Structure formats: structure tokens, C-alpha cells
Amino acid sequence: MTDPARIFRYNTLPATSGPVVYWMQRDQRVADNWAWIYALEQALKMNQPLVVVFCLLPEFSGAQQRHFDFMIRGLEVTSRTLSDLKVPFYLLRGDPVEQIPPFLECFRAGMLVTDFNPLKFVIRWKQRIAGQIRVPFHEVDAHNIIPCRFISDKAEYSAFTLRKKVEKLLPRFLVPYPGAVPTDLLRQLPAMESRIEVRYHPGFPETFANQATGAGPIRFKPGEREAQQCMTRFIKTKLAGYDTRRNRPEIDGQSNLSSYLHFGHLAPQRLALRVQKADDGIGSAASFLEELIVRRELSDNFCLYNPDYDNFNGFQRWARVTLDNHRNDTREFLYTPEQFEQAITHDDLWNAAQREMVITGKMHGYLRMYWAKKILEWSGSPDEACEIARYLNDKYEFDGRDPNGYAGIAWAIGGVHDRPWKERPVFGMIRYMNYQGCKRKFDVEAYVRKIKAL
């Protein structure tokens, strides 16, 4: 049974008769999805049909066509799985606030279930939908192992403060998923309603305006099955060396699972359970779980409780003060957003990282820190730096438009979840990184060569 701590009620209306609708948003999968499991439990308990719906927007925080392609192809896999389970799947187009309430009316739905997303505009959609509908509206956290609203009721100061809570609560939440519930016990929709067409046709994604500039082919194959295979490959071939190899961009030591996690094709809880089982006791599993659980869930916490997660005002006071004190410092190099985007700075490492992101859709994790810090160093103000980094990250990364991206940028440019360091020009007391430091950490030349060969 779904742990009640996963559930947040957008209203307190009592259950009514009518189909249960699961509005799938962030967790685009059937397997290991607590929101789907909860919706199924409710439909069975109330002896009502279950319907799944997804709302496709023509624009999403600057995402490009290849991101939409990835998502839509993943949704096709999900819709096939649902079809095998005899659960209807509908793809609506447009703003969920305009699409979901009439959809519920059309089905005379008795309940709306959705998954959790801490981004402010998604929360606003849900609040506005809650104001329009007359059926219970429940949100289930299927993205965090420990539900985000439950683990903490405030923005955590650092990984240290969240880690303490994670350690206490993990045994309750990092548990196996229940076995598959047979969906043939579900009541079926009346014949007329089940004939409403799935409003997806293959030509639709081509109408998206944001074409990728200079992008290479999609590096990852989308969908739940591909995600599971990628996870298995990582555990078999890379987990053992993860703690030493993950910070070396010239080799491919990371899991490359972030796109699947971002689009919800893979459940972090499943990944954590598999990694825990494969633990070799030499530290790699622990170091991976630190990133997957503490760091990732800290990002959701940051975005949920800090509506300025994507701008200067979201930084802590000490960081705003120190950055303000250095606003007028002379910048040795100053680049426009276009020069950054075209990767034409004086720094071959920075340019290579930017090119890696544009071409492959995934910049190496270690370089994301260097990349964002140099944007701070080489732009006119910290506010501008934040905006440029957010724009590029959201536009090019497959895993962009994600709490991890906003928290990562706020960490690099605004010292969020970090502490003050030795004061220096432009950065003030924000942690500094430089080219020489990278050279000590990894083979910079080999990385630059690798990217030139793409």
C-alpha cells in the first residue's frame, strides 16, 4: 500500500463515484511509480475505472525538439504498456489548467491523482486546477525516495542537514515496490467513453519551434525499457569504479541515467535498491547513493521551498552580500550570452564543455561546476550569469529544466548548500574553480581532444 506520507491533498473533498484519472506529469512510466500504484489502489477500492492522461505543451522552459522527441517516444512506450494492461491513455495538447478540468467533466471522473513536481509553475497549475474541480485531487511523490514534503517543511541549509534526516527515514522508504496488481480486476470504462481517440499523431512534435542548433543525434534511447537496460549496464560495468572515475570527464565514468530520471522513465527508488544490492563494500555504492539520494533530493527540497530557485534572490544572504560587494570588480574577460552559446571564449576547456552539451545533450557532471562558475567570472553581473547558465542548461541538456539544474546553478554561482570561502575578486566568498585545478584533477587535453572529435 502507498505510504500516506507520499500523499498531498490539493483539496479535502470526499471521494465521489466515477473513474479515477491519473494525470501523469513528471513520472512518465508505469513500472515503479507510486502515483500510478496509488491511482490503481483507489480505482480498485472504489470499484471504478482508471484512466491515464498526459498534457503535452508546445513549449517547456526552452526545451528543444529533440527533448520533446525523447519524451514523446518514451510516452509511446508507456501508452503501449498501459494498453497491454487495458488501461486507456490519453494525450492532451495544451495548458493543463485548460485541459484537465474539462477532461474530468467529459469522463464524469470521481478523483484526480497526479505526481509530484516542486517547480513553481507546475505547483501553480495544480492550485488553479484544484480551484476549478469538484473531485478529490491528490498528489503522490513518486520521484523522491523519501517524500519531499514529508522529509522537511523548510529549505535545508546544506547536504549535511538533509543527510541526517535521510539516514533516519531511509529504512522506512527505501523498500521494495509491491508486486504487480492485476489490472483485469479494474472496472472498464463504458464503451462510448473508451472510444475517445488518443489525440496524438506523429506529425505533431515537428511543429515545435525550438530546433536544436548544432545538435548531434539523440545519445540516449528513450523509454522505460531502455532506462532499465541502461541501469543494468551501469551496475554491471561502471558502478565498481564510480567513486574514483565519476569526476574524470575524459572517461565516461558516470551512470548517464540523468535523462531517464528527469523524464521519469526510471524510478530513483528502483535504482537505489539495485545499487544497494550490488554494493561491493568498497565505497562506490555509497558514493553513488549520496548523489542519487542526498544531492538529488536536496534539489527538490530547494525548489519546493524557495520560489526564487532560478535567480539571484534565491541565494542565501551571505552570498548575495558578498556578490553585491564585488559587482563592480573588473572582469578580465567579458562575454555576451551569444559568445557563451557559440562556445567562443578564450578557454578551450570551457568551450569543449559547452560544445559537449550542445552536441550530445549532456555535459559531464564535473565540468558543469566549472562551466557555471566561469559564466559568473566572465559576465557582467551575478544576476546575468544566473540567467545565462539557466538559459543554456535548460535549452541544451536532456536532463535540463529540472530541480537539479536550478540547484546546481545556484550552488555554483550563488553558494547555495555551500559555505563561504576565501574572498577574491568577482566571486567574493563563493567557492572558486580554475583551469589549473582541473588540470590537477583530470586530463584536460584528453577531454578537449575527445570533444573536438565529436
Ligand X SMILES: Cc1cc2nc3c(=O)[nH]c(=O)nc-3n(C[C@H](O)[C@H](O)[C@H](O)COP(=O)(O)OP(=O)(O)OC[C@H]3O[C@@H](n4cnc5c(N)ncnc54)[C@H](O)[C@@H]3O)c2cc1C
Rank residues 241 and 365 by Cβ distance to ligand X and give the closer one. 365
Q: Which residue, among 362, 296, 308, has the nearest Cα to 143 in the 3D structure?
A: 296
Give the C-alpha distances (Å, rounded to integers) separating 159 from 299, 301, 365, 419. 10, 11, 17, 11
Query: If you ran DSSP here, which 8-state letter would residue 332 be given?
Result: S
Report in angstroms how near the CB of residue 372 gets to ligand X at its nearest: 4
Stretch that binds ligand X, among 5-13, 55-63, 248-256, 319-327 (CB under 6 A): 248-256
Alpha helices in 209-347 (DSSP H): 224-237, 242-245, 258-262, 268-277, 284-289, 296-305, 317-325, 337-341
Rank residues 13 and 294 by Cβ distance to ligand X and give the closer one. 294
Report in angstroms how near the CB of residue 244 gets to ligand X at its nearest: 12
Per CB under 6 A, 365 contacts ligand X: yes
- State the Rg of the chain over Cα: 22
Rank residues 7 and 272 by Cβ distance to ligand X and give the closer one. 272
Rank residues 86 and 431 by Cβ distance to ligand X and give the closer one. 431
From the CB of residue 4, how many other CB atoms can be counted at a distance below 10 Å? 9
Q: Residue 285 and residue 292: Cα distance in Å, rounded?
A: 10
Cβ partners under 8 Å of residue 271, min gap 6: 231, 257, 261, 292
Stretch that binds ligand X, among 333-341, 402-410, 431-439, 441-449 (CB under 6 A): 402-410
35, 257, 285, 359: which one binds ligand X (CB under 6 A): 257
Rank residues 138 and 368 by Cβ distance to ligand X and give the closer one. 368
136, 264, 400, 414: which one binds ligand X (CB under 6 A): 400
Sheet strand arrangement including 137-140: 7-9, 137-140, 111-115, 20-24, 50-56, 89-93
Per CB under 6 A, 255 contacts ligand X: yes
Report in angstroms how near the CB of residue 299 gets to ligand X at its nearest: 5
Secondary structure element (H or E) that encloses residue 393, with its range: helix 382-396
Rank residues 27 and 402 by Cβ distance to ligand X and give the closer one. 402
Rank residues 52 and 410 by Cβ distance to ligand X and give the closer one. 410
Q: Residue 98 and residue 258: Cα distance in Å, rounded?
A: 31
From the CB of residue 40, how many other CB atoms can be counted at a distance below 10 Å? 26
Stretch that binds ligand X, among 5-13, 37-45, 206-214, 391-399 (CB under 6 A): 391-399
Per CB under 6 A, 374 contacts ligand X: no
Report in angstroms how near the CB of residue 346 gets to ligand X at its nearest: 20
Instruction: Sketch the per residue contact string, 190 through 209, with ligand X: x for CB under 6 A, - otherwise.
Output: --------------------
114 in Cβ contact with 127 (< 8 Å) = no
Four-residue CA torsion sign, 174, 175, 176, 182: negative
Four-residue CA torsion sign, 51, 57, 63, 67: positive
Report in angstroms how near the CB of residue 402 gets to ligand X at its nearest: 4
Q: What are the residues facing 21 on neighbouring strands?
A: 51, 112
Stretch that binds ligand X, among 26-34, 185-193, 330-338, 395-403 (CB under 6 A): 395-403
Per CB under 6 A, 397 contacts ligand X: yes
Residues 271-300 that bind ligand X (CB under 6 A): 291-292, 295-296, 299
Per CB under 6 A, 136 contacts ligand X: no
Cα 346 vs. chain centroid, distance in angstroms?
Answer: 32
Per CB under 6 A, 368 contacts ligand X: yes
Chain residues in the site for ligand X (CB under 6 A): 246, 254-258, 261-262, 291-292, 295-296, 299, 365, 368-369, 372, 393, 397, 399-400, 402, 404-405, 408-409, 411-412
